[in-house]
């Protein structure tokens, strides 16, 4: 078994998180309580915690002509899965912060990317590379 990551993040509505992560993104639900829900995000454990501290974007960083929301989390997917996910998100009416596109085209680190928000305003980025050796290329 390879290493897995675990991420706990705040949400302001567990029912909306369940619908978005389970229904829209297709994450299998694990254990849950009245205050949190475990989800399987491509084999990794993410946990939506009901939190009064607030969630959402705190800042933006200018990258390749886009205002990238910070903080954000997401996954690097195979290109075909990324394309399928972008189509599923469009069909579900998800509004993109940064539309699906190719970033750094023809340069080191060329990648497909898209950003969108969950119902609590948490930013997610999903990426894909045609060449995975480019993930950490300088």
- Residue-wise pLDDT for 24-83, tens only, equals 999 999 999 999 999 999 999 999 999 988 778 888 888 888 899 999 999 999 999 999
Compare 95 and 59 and report the one with higher pLDDT: 95
Q: Return mean pLDDT, the chain.
A: 94
Please name each of the domains of the chain with its CATH number.
6-50 (3.30.720.120), 59-134 (3.10.180.10)
Mean pLDDT of 129-138: 91
Strand partners, 70: 59
Identify the H or E element spanning 123.
strand 123-128
Three-class SS state of 7: strand
Q: What average pLDDT score do residues 74-96 get?
A: 96
Please name the residues in contact with 91: beta carbons below 8 A apart, sequence gap of 6 or more: none
- Output the pTM of the full model: 0.92
Q: What is the pLDDT of residues 97-115, one digit of tens each?
A: 999 999 999 999 899 999 9
pLDDT level of residue 1 (50, 70, 90 thresholds): low
């Amino acid at each position: 078994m390879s290493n897995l990551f675990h991420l706990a993040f705040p949400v302001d509505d567990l029912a909306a998180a369940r619908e978005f992560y389970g229904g829209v993104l297709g994450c299998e639900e694990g254990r849950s309580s009245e205050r949190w829900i475990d989800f399987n995000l491509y084999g990794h454990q993410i946990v939506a915690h009901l939190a009064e501290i607030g969630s959402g974007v705190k800042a933006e960083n200018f990258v390749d002509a886009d205002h990238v929301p910070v903080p954000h989390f997401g996954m690097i997917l195979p290109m075909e899965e990324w394309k399928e996910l972008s189509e599923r998100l469009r069909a579900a009416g998800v509004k993109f912060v940064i539309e699906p596109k190719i970033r750094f085209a023809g340069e080191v680190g060329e990648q497909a990317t898209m950003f969108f928000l969950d119902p609590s305003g948490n930013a997610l980025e999903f990426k894909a590379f045609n060449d995975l050796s480019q993930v950490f290329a300088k």
